[in-house]
Chains A and B, each alone.
Chain A
Amino acid sequence: MTITLSERRPDYDVLIIGGGVNGTGLARDLAHRGLRTLLVERNDLAFGASGNSSGMIHGGPRYLTAHPEVTRSSCLDSGYIQRIAPHMIFRIPFIVPIYGSGVTARVKLDAFDAFFGEYDRYQPLKRGKKHTRLKPDEAAQVVPGLNTANMAGCVTFDEWGINGTRLCVANALDAEEHGAAVRIHTTVEKVHVVEGRVTGVRVRDRLTGVAEEITAKVVVNATGAWGPITAELAGLPGKVKVRPGKGVHLVLDRPITDVAVNATAIDGRMIFIEPWENTSIIGTTDDDTYADLDDLPVTTDEVRYLLEGTERVLPRVRDARIVGTTVGARPTIYGWGKYEDELSREHEVIDHAAHGATGLYSMVGGKLASYRLFAQEAADLIAPTLGNHTACGTHRSPLPGGDKSTDVDRLAERFSVARYAAQRLVARHGARAEAVLGEPGRGGRAVVCACEPVLACEVRYVVRVERARTLMDLSRRTNLGTNVCGGADCALKAAMIMGELLGWSAAESREEAATLLRARIRSRLPAIGAAQARGEGAVHAALRSLGKAS
């Protein structure tokens, strides 16, 4: 018998805490470099700021004057994302109306013109179009119903939209396909630091309640606004500082404009309404928040603030139907004594070796547009400490579904599904839409959620491949139940299909359905207007029938 004298090999090279775009982006990068990686997420992928952003990979024109290098890197990385995930992005032209008359307004219009002329220099990096200047009557043709009273003119510029949740899911999926492991609904209870070195973490599965010790050579805190809380779990209070800025968006039932329109809120802040996938999004607020990050509230005040500002440029927004609100906390880098809008949106990696915890890193700040670059920077720092000197390849290798384009018409015909359903499916899954449509099982390709639409085969695919564990996870990944029906039509159907795969009892399926209905009711509550009021009755009736049945 030989006695083993070597130390036990840690379970993983790197353990990442946080399933937002920073965490999933890093997991993908490290997995591509061949490092054994585990990502744990307390809630679900994209649960925080990543899944509740404005849904753009914009080039950061706001940094143009003070930090042109940030604009450049944002535009460059936006260009990379287009190449690795072309199915996921869609063009969003913006129009900036300038109001007023006389010299002041003309000067302002010229200034905007010059500003976006400068931004044009970076547009080729992300295949963006050059800016234009429009007269009021031209602008009114582009945006019917635009308020042109006392308008001096408009300036346009060009950005790209993206679904932040799908971006996180695609990164996590790609990481897994390159050998990483991803566990959602798994919270970290303690980060172990022994003799100045991080050794691993204790995690607990929040759905099963089972705890587990996991060892790793490196632990990365990529928990965004939760960053300070995570640092405390490693015994480093105060070593990670963020200033969470709550951002609220309103979601309308359909695109009510083809072009995004900028507006000014009552306090002078810039807000906008943008056509986004099959909805419109109005955003955003930016307020310091001290609320529970797992359960951020949206208030009637925030809704009215956004509507009032938007109404001034697009009065017909008052007739629109608001089907939900989104809320997230930006992981803004800490600063005291500044207004929220003035805070830096940059990113940095903190090496906690200086705080007596070698092997522990925190990713602070960041934005959707440059997540890949941020992940690359973090991996470039971490990989060499583990003896890995592989170069980053995440800007060249396509994300899942981004490897080839898909003919939507042919797909719709081949699988006998509506063209619109096929189109939405391709937007979510790219070239993998074919695999989704081929997923066998109960419900076939029947429409489960008619608003989105979501088919039964996609429900099963998202459970099996994308590892959705709750109905809310499914809803985040597919938008199921998030539009007009609010889940009244689809929650129970989807829960039944999921339940069959995940072994839920009928009562558990009903509870999952009720959870989705309640979440949607809560999401709409501060924003219910005349157009939505009628729909609420149907949702409450659906919820009542679930309650009675249990």
Chain B
Amino acid sequence: MIAPRVDVEVLVIGDGAAGIAAARSAVEAGARVAVVSAGPGATAFGGGAVWGSSAEPFASWARGGRFQLGGRFVTLGGWVLTDVVGGLSSLLDLRRLEPHTALGVLDLPTHPGWSPRALASALGATVVPLGDFPEEESFHATARRFDTDGVVEAAAESLRAAIRGRGVGAILTPPVLGLRRDDVARRLSAALGIPVGETVSDAGDPPSIRLSRALRAWIPEEVEVIRGHAAAKLSRGPDVTVDGAKARARAVVLATGGVTGGGVSFGGSVREATAGAPLWLRNQRIPANSGAARGEDPSMWFGGEDPAIFRAGLRCNERGQVVGADGVEVPAPWLFAAGDLLRGRAGGGIAGALATGALAGAEAARFARGG
């Protein structure tokens, strides 16, 4: 018999926000854990903002002290405003500001996205221009400067002079407050005594890089991350294959994302990509062979302002176990799911993925250890 590639209690498939939260919470529950990674998904596209309507459940869960995140998640007209994820203090919480607060803005001509001035005026704030960041070859180079010791102090010094006597209640900057360091905004805020934060921008921008680092840092050291594509079968039990190699586990957490992550595939038919688990749209089971002879019509699934495909996903019970085609039975009690792969969750945001991931990880560990 060939020795399995890994032999763990909980195998987490997917290393986005949901997968990482699941791995961490399973380890905290005492399980031996491995993570399978098939490359970036929706978390990596998020631009570094932790947002979404499903933020609140995670916030209350986090307040319960599991990770001591002290999370605070607020949305304001879609601009995400959160001050803490894993010590990641970045984006400015404008809702905390008094009405009519004058907003000091710093600009960076090399950044092609939102100018803080335009964003501030869109929010109806009084804008006080504080000047430009010095021109560099790229805005990532500007962000990297803040990683150097002493730069934050020097920046605070000159900002203090710039805001003196101008009634500035908060400062908004382009997304350049540190590339590796994630405490720049917090330290500037502390030094100046007013909130300092960045605009949210795109995948690959500094806040997005900082969030990825913060999330990666959450994966406990003892957890092995295996690169590859996993395949499972409901009838075969929790032993899955990764790029054809065997991986032994007692419980599996599917955190492969929705359509964007690749957890829900769309080709000839709509299906759950890893195990072929039953998919649901609202309370309707999606037929396993929904594709007609020439395949599924994309406009049926992707048409309209709120395409159906993003609401398709797995159904779980309160423990995070995947329920079967009848909507009640648990055909594979070892199979758990989290994040965007859950029905109606796609686009639910990183906070929702963290919350459901943490739950599924803890429950999977309990199941694997005979709890």
- Write the residues of chain A forming the contact surface with B, with a CB cutoff of 8 angstroms: 300, 304, 416, 442-444, 446-448, 456, 488-489, 492-494, 496-497, 499-500, 505-507, 509, 521, 525-530, 533-538, 540-541, 544-545, 547-550
Contacts and interface: CB of A to CB of B under 8 A. Distances in A.
B137 interface: yes
B294 interface: yes
Contact of B45 (A304, A533, A541): A541
B294 A304 contact: yes
Contact of A506 (B75, B119, B346): B119
A416 to B, nearest CB: 7
27 contacts: A416-B137, A443-B110, A446-B111, A456-B112, A488-B45, A492-B114, A497-B112, A500-B115, A506-B118, A525-B298, A528-B302, A529-B298, A530-B267, A533-B309, A536-B260, A537-B42, A537-B261, A537-B347, A538-B42, A538-B203, A540-B347, A541-B45, A544-B78, A548-B75, A549-B77, A549-B78, A549-B122
Nearest to A499: B118
B131 interface: no
Given A489-B202, A507-B122, A530 B113 contact: no
B262 A534 contact: yes
Contact of B298 (A489, A528, A541, A548): A528
B14 interface: no
Interface residues of B, number: 45
A292 to B, nearest CB: 18
A545 B42 CA distance: 14
B153 interface: no
Nearest to A504: B118
A300 B299 CA distance: 8
Contacts of B310: 537, 540
Interface of B: 41-42, 45, 75, 77-79, 109-115, 118-119, 121-122, 135, 137-139, 202-203, 258-262, 265-268, 294, 297-299, 301-303, 307, 309-310, 346-347
B366 to A, nearest CB: 32
A545 B260 CA distance: 16
A496 B115 contact: yes
B113 A496 contact: yes
Given A528-B301, A540-B347, 8 more contacts: A300-B299, A448-B112, A456-B112, A496-B113, A529-B266, A533-B267, A541-B45, A544-B78
Nearest to B53: A548
Nearest to A537: B260
B347 A442 contact: no
Nearest to B349: A541
A300 B298 contact: yes
Given A527-B298, A538-B260, A443 B112 contact: yes
B294 A533 contact: no
A146 to B, nearest CB: 24
B262 A446 contact: no
B42 A541 contact: yes
A550 B77 CA distance: 7
A540 B307 contact: yes
Contacts of A300: 297-299
Contacts of B79: 549
B299 A443 contact: no
A533 B299 CA distance: 12
B303 A496 contact: no
Contacts of A528: 266, 298, 301-302
